[in-house]
Amino acid sequence: MDANRFERQIQFILEIDKLKTILRRTYLINEDRAENTAEHSWHLAMMAILLAEHANEPVNVSRVVKMVLVHDIVEIDAGDTYFYDATAALDKSVRERAAADRLFGILPVDQGAELRALWDEFETGKTADARFALALDRFMPQLHNYHTHGRSWAEHGITIDRVLERNESMAEGSAKLWECARALLDDAVSKGFLPKKEN
């Protein structure tokens, strides 16, 4: 066994404290501040536990929970890439893979490999567990945006057509969540929280 195994585990645990300082574009419902990625990851894990019955396919809930707890740790180095930023998306994969190499590399080899594989699986999105995890990750910002009167959409000039286009793959993980999101988005448009595309 790695003589420094415990030390490496603790070093990683200290390192990921930084995820609490990475800000997302979404706003909290009950406080006037942006959400950070650590608390977002907690929220997704709770959703995985509670909403697994709405996945399109049977999922391993414990694996999905672990996957969403880990899915954004790369943002410690790579930052939060805004979901609607097409330019930042171009090198997102390169930045995040370098981050994964460094961050998961802090851990003992077996544990680093396990978390890295979970992250790769989430990013690739080809398994039932990953499809459901991705659906949760896409669903939550719709709730936050709707319940903050479209604040983040307005700040970034996001229109309904882009929200639909970028999020429709949610249906591959959970038709139920996509149905709920669609209803919220329709209501957001009717309430003036989310503009239609300008012609």
State the residues that interact with a second copy by CB under 8 A: 6, 9-10, 12-14, 16-21, 28-31, 35-36, 38-39, 41-43, 45-47, 49-51, 54, 61-62, 65-66, 69-70, 107, 111, 143-144, 147, 176, 180
CB of 119 to a second copy, least distance (A): 13
Question: Measured from the CB atom, is 16 or 189 closer to a second copy?
Answer: 16
- Classify 35 as helix, strand or coil: strand
Question: Measured from the CB atom, is 118 or 194 closer to a second copy?
Answer: 118
CB of 10 to a second copy, least distance (A): 7
Cβ atoms of 152 and 25 closer than 8 Å: yes
Compute the Cα dihedral for 48, 65, 26, 179 and give only its sign. Answer: negative
Burial 35-65 (b: 16+ CB within 10 A, else e): bbbbebbebbbebbeebbebbbeebebebbb
CB of 86 to a second copy, least distance (A): 29
Question: Measured from the CB atom, is 9 or 81 closer to a second copy?
Answer: 9
Compute the Cα dihedral for 8, 13, 14, 18 and give only its sign. Answer: positive
Question: Measured from the CB atom, is 142 or 163 closer to a second copy?
Answer: 142
Question: Measured from the CB atom, is 20 or 161 closer to a second copy?
Answer: 20
In sequence order, what DSSP letters do the residues of 146-179 get, joined into one string? HHTTTHHHHHTT--HHHHHHHHTTHHHH-HHHHH
CB of 45 to a second copy, least distance (A): 5
